[in-house]
Amino acid sequence: MFNRKKSKRRDIKKAVKSAVRKEIKNTVKSSLIHEFLEERAKIVEKNDYIEPDLYIKNNVKRGLRNSNGTGVVVGLTRIGDVRGYKTDASGDKIPMEGKLYYRGYDIEDLVQNCIDEDRFGFEEVTFLLIFGNLPTKSELESFKKMLGSKRELPNGFARDMILTTPSNNIMNKLARSVLALYCYDDNPDDTSVANVLRQSIDLIGHFPALISYAYQAKASFYDNMSLHLHNPIPELSTSENILRMIRPMGEFMDIEAKLLDLSMILHAEHGGGNNSSFTTHLISSTGTDTYSAISAAIGSLKGPRHGGANIAVINMIADIKEHVPDFNNRGKLDDYLVKMLKKEAYDRTGLIYGMGHAIYTLSDPRAKLLKSMSKKLAESKNRLDDFLLCDYIERRTPQLYAEVNGVEKPMPANVDLYSGFVYDTLGIPIEIATPLFATARLSGWCAHRIEELVSGRKLMRPAYKSAQEPREYVKLKSRTSSMTEKNKK
């Protein structure tokens, strides 16, 4: 008995020592790998660096932008039109009030009609973008029933593809879910217009459930929150279904759903030149399937330079309120905004998020429309002070920018300033802000994909000019490590 206990203790000690040695070995190995990657990263940065002067010398349009900041024209579209400036004979931009058109219709007319008639409009705008004309009353009702029939995900999809494999990033999960839907399609690779229309309607119907279940899975698995799953209701609008499925009890007020609907209308399309819509054209030009094209667009929108601006606004407002608790004290508020512009506060980028736009110069029509309705929401939610803070940032930023930089230029509020406020006031989790953008923009993506299949029909193949001079090959035995060369210096 004594020998068995002694042997057992010896085995335990041996196992502990072995585990410790293994842990030390793994730690050292991990440290060496990290050191290797850090050193190599510096070399890669040096080898991949291209002098900015070379772009000018070779007349390269960096970021597909002309020298005056306008976009390089790479195609034609009937779907959307964004107007923010005129150009004179010398090509200089002349500021103008911003205009946005969907299939030739002014966005202000589309939105105002929905407000006047007190109805949801996202489904009507989706019909317009995809089919190219405004629906009749009966056509709209049929289309809404068609979307309603697609609210439910395929059998087992939510369990197998979302709940059992959650992601800490909902945009990541959304892209993966779209790719997975390929496997549930009996005819996924057919790029005929009729089949792509079917796939588009399926995806537009599915998206509210995809983002809502992805959020619930993330909240449960990563944030230790209770799991609340609500089935979509076919008769409800897109915005109503989203609010119902992301909230624990599924409750929402009509004004909340109508304002979310308005936000989705305003985000549904923004011309073919925005990064994600261009991505849709680019990927579709290869002849690939709908699921690959849309997942690529989601990946584009996921980038913080494109789709994450509304999140930046929400975080920025929270930071301002933290550092200037009494933001009715305009002096202190101005001081903090100046610090932000001087890269001394918040994220030290020198940016005030929600202000300025690449195309709009004097005004962003989406911001104007959203602002008018968001005030009503603020009053109903007792958030008028927060609304007035956004309003003050909109009015004061251009003046402070001129004082700090010595340059006066038009700087309108863009849609993100008020969409961020709306999402925050609606209690929409910040993780869903960009997925909501994707849900709205999906209508535009699908329209642009079909347009590319119908009218593009040519593989996009832009040119990159090599900035690397030819080099003489060095045999393996004669090579010296770049690390060795660095150490010699």
Kindly report, as residue ranges, where domains of CATH 1.10.580.10 are found in the chain.
103-309+441-456
- Whether the CB-CB separation of 193 and 453 falls below 8 Å is answered with yes
**Consecutive H or E run containing 106:** strand 105-106
User: Per-residue confidence at 354, pLDDT binned at 50, 70, 90?
Assistant: very high
Query: What single DSSP character describes residue 163?
Result: I
pLDDT in tens, 32-76: 898 988 998 999 999 999 999 999 999 999 989 888 788 899 999
**Consecutive H or E run containing 450:** helix 433-451
**227 token code pair:** 């799991």
Which residues, 6+ apart, have CB-to-CB distance to 230 below 8 Å? Answer: 212, 244, 245, 250
* Distance, CA of 142 to CA of 135 (rounded, Å): 10
Which residues, 6+ apart, have CB-to-CB distance to 260 below 8 Å? Answer: 239, 242, 243, 422, 426, 428, 436
What's the confidence (pLDDT) of residue 485?
56
- Whether the CB-CB separation of 446 and 200 falls below 8 Å is answered with yes
Percent of the chain with pLDDT over 90: 82
Amino acid at 103: R
User: Per-residue confidence at 471, pLDDT binned at 50, 70, 90?
Assistant: very high
Among 1.10.230.10, 2.40.170.20, 1.10.3720.10, 1.10.10.10, name the CATH number for the domain at 310-425: 1.10.230.10
* Distance, CA of 263 to CA of 370 (rounded, Å): 7
**Measuring CA to CA, which residue among 436, 362, 429 is closest to residue 225?**
429
**Measuring CA to CA, which residue among 338, 311, 313, 343 is closest to residue 324?**
338
- Whether the CB-CB separation of 84 and 96 falls below 8 Å is answered with yes
Kindly report, as residue ranges, where domains of CATH 1.10.230.10 are found in the chain.
310-425
What's the confidence (pLDDT) of residue 6?
65
Round the average pLDDT of the chain to a whole number and report it. Answer: 93
pLDDT in tens, 241-281: 999 999 999 999 999 999 999 999 999 999 989 999 999 99
pLDDT in tens, 192-244: 999 999 999 999 999 999 999 999 999 999 999 999 999 999 999 999 999 99
**Measuring CA to CA, which residue among 261, 231, 251, 302 is closest to residue 427?**
251
- β-sheet bridge partners, residue 81: 101
**Measuring CA to CA, which residue among 286, 399, 299, 291 is closest to residue 352?**
399
* Distance, CA of 254 to CA of 270 (rounded, Å): 27
Order of strands, sheet of 105-106, starting from the edge strand that comes earlier in the sequence: 80-87, 93-102, 105-106
* Distance, CA of 439 to CA of 204 (rounded, Å): 7
Output the CATH code of domain 103-309+441-456.
1.10.580.10
What's the confidence (pLDDT) of residue 484?
58
**338 token code pair:** 């100046």
Query: What single DSSP character describes residue 324?
Result: -
